[in-house]
Structure 1
Amino acid sequence: MTQLLIIFAAAAAGLFFFEDVRDVLKLWDIRDMRIIWYGVSIAVIVILADMAVMKWFPSHLYDDGGINKKIFSKRSIPHIIFLTLLIAFAEEMLFRGVLQTHIGLWTASLIFAALHFRYLSKWLLFIMVTAISFLLGLMYEWTGNLFVPMTAHFIIDAVFACQIRFEHVRRDKHDEHVESREKKSPESL
């Protein structure tokens, strides 16, 4: 639902900021190989950095209050792929395609971070989401192609959403295994 609002906001802002629909279409170039080189490379760097943060910092500093777990833990992989594609498209269209194009990289990045309001009370998450937003914005600045940051955004979100899903499945299987062992155990009789 939120992503549909973001798409609507992007469309409305786009009508205001862009003189012609063709100007919006110029932001997208599927034939640009930098989609792969920059988009995938930056996604891998962000994922590795995020994993390092999870390893080196206490979990309370990067815990989002369980919102991402609620969103992704019980969804199928195709549904996760669909949602993360929608999220990447909607957010990149609004924040890079419309806002950054017209109000600048820093302002768009800060608005992006602020809209992830659940991170505002967690300094580490806020810094991370602001840095990632800035990095996605830089990729757009360098390439002029929304597919590049959208690809990176999609990969980052999809990897972490799938990780949440797999952890949920693994935890459920572990719990089932423990329960079945307890039922079979003579000590439980």
Structure 2
Amino acid sequence: MLVGFILLGGVFSTFLLFGLLMIVKGMGPAAAQAYLAELASNPASAPTGWYELMALQAVNHLGTFLIPSLVYWYTIERRTWDQFSVRPVSAVAGLSLVVLIVIAFMPFDGLIIEWNQGVHLPSTLAPLEEWIRDKEKELEGVTKYLTTFSSAGQLLIAMLVIAVIPAIGEETLFRGILQRNLTYWSNNVHVGIWVAAALFSAIHVQFLGFFPRMLLGALFGYLYVWSGSLWVPILAHLVNNGFTVLMVYLYQQKVVTMDIESTEAVPLLGSLVSGAITAGLLYYFKLTNQNQVTREPER
């Protein structure tokens, strides 16, 4: 049922986009389809392409992740938003640590990104690997376009579309629903966390970043389990995306000299220190919360 709702949500969001184009720009169905295809592949071709592509991203994400998840949660499982959490976020100890944990994790995750990009498929699958790398380059181009800001207003829109909406929608689906149910079915919290994290990474269809994104999903999963509140992984996800967007903007404005999008090799020592600090902060976060959260997900 959940998969069905997600597929229907994707279809309805696409029709909504077609409808908006037909109304706003006076296009027919075929012209709207061609325009969307051109916008996705070459957004700079349209004078207002940046804003239109951001709107497309927002509608598509809401229609694919958040709305189907909530419809499933309320109608099939017959639950409410409060039941995503076993306790309120105000009762979470060390909530400010979540921000530090996510930022501290970034250099270590960068090392995993570098390693993952260097992984090669067997020679018999060389055509598949070439296709994957070509698609990754195309996606990098679109991402670069969307994270090139000409004003503070664009930064605020990007924060909403790239940080806030995905944080709420993806964490509701992958941690709030999938991780909870996978944990219940397997009777193993670690299985629930890692399978949900693998699905979280796979859904982004970025195979050269599969493992670092899976680690990030697992990080969100453990924060959910140890805190007992869905708002904690939502906060962590928001910080991860929002901090990156903010640093890109500050670099473009020449406020900072560090290019967070740089593909230069991550220093090994710094990455290992990052991993150790992250592990220490996570352990402390777990200790401060373990006596206040039930171990099994509520059913």
Do they fold alike, i.e. is TM over 0.5? yes
Match status 1:42 vs 2:101: yes
| 1:46, distance to aligned residue in structure 2 (A) | 2.2
Counterpart residue type for residue 7 of structure 1: L
SS at match of 1:134: helix
Contact 2:73 2:79 in 1 (8 A): no
SS at match of 1:131: helix
Q: Name 1:160's counterpart in structure 2.
A: 244
Rounded to whole Å, the distance in 2 between the matches of 1:28 and 1:115 is 29
Rounded to whole Å, the distance in 2 between the matches of 1:71 and 1:99 is 30
Cα distance, 1:48–1:29 mapped onto 2, change above 3 Å: farther
Contact 1:136 1:149 in 2 (8 A): yes
Q: Name 1:2's counterpart in structure 2.
A: 60
Contact 2:175 2:224 in 1 (8 A): yes
Contact 2:171 2:234 in 1 (8 A): yes
Aligned counterparts, 1:5-20, within 5 A: 5=63, 6-15=65-74, 18-20=77-79
Q: RCO (CA 8 Å, sep 6+): is it higher in 1 or 2?
A: 1
- Percent of pairs with identical residues: 20
Structure 1's unaligned 5+ residue stretches are 171-189
Correspondence for 2:146 among 71, 85, 108: 71
Q: Name 2:124's counterpart in structure 1.
A: none
Contact 1:68 1:161 in 2 (8 A): no
Counterpart residue type for residue 221 of structure 2: G
Q: Name 1:178's counterpart in structure 2.
A: none
SS at match of 1:76: helix
Cα distance, 1:167–1:141 mapped onto 2, change above 3 Å: same
Contact 2:84 2:229 in 1 (8 A): no
Cα distance, 1:163–1:23 mapped onto 2, change above 3 Å: closer
SS at match of 1:11: helix
Rounded to whole Å, the distance in 2 between the matches of 1:51 and 1:126 is 12
Counterpart residue type for residue 170 of structure 2: E
Structure 2's unaligned 5+ residue stretches are 1-58, 119-135, 183-191, 255-299
Greater Cα offset, 14-23 or 137-146: 14-23
| 1:23, distance to aligned residue in structure 2 (A) | 5.1
Correspondence for 2:202 among 114, 117, 135: 114
Q: How large is the Cα RMSD of the aligned pairs?
A: 2.9
Contact 1:69 1:164 in 2 (8 A): no
Q: Name 1:100's counterpart in structure 2.
A: 179
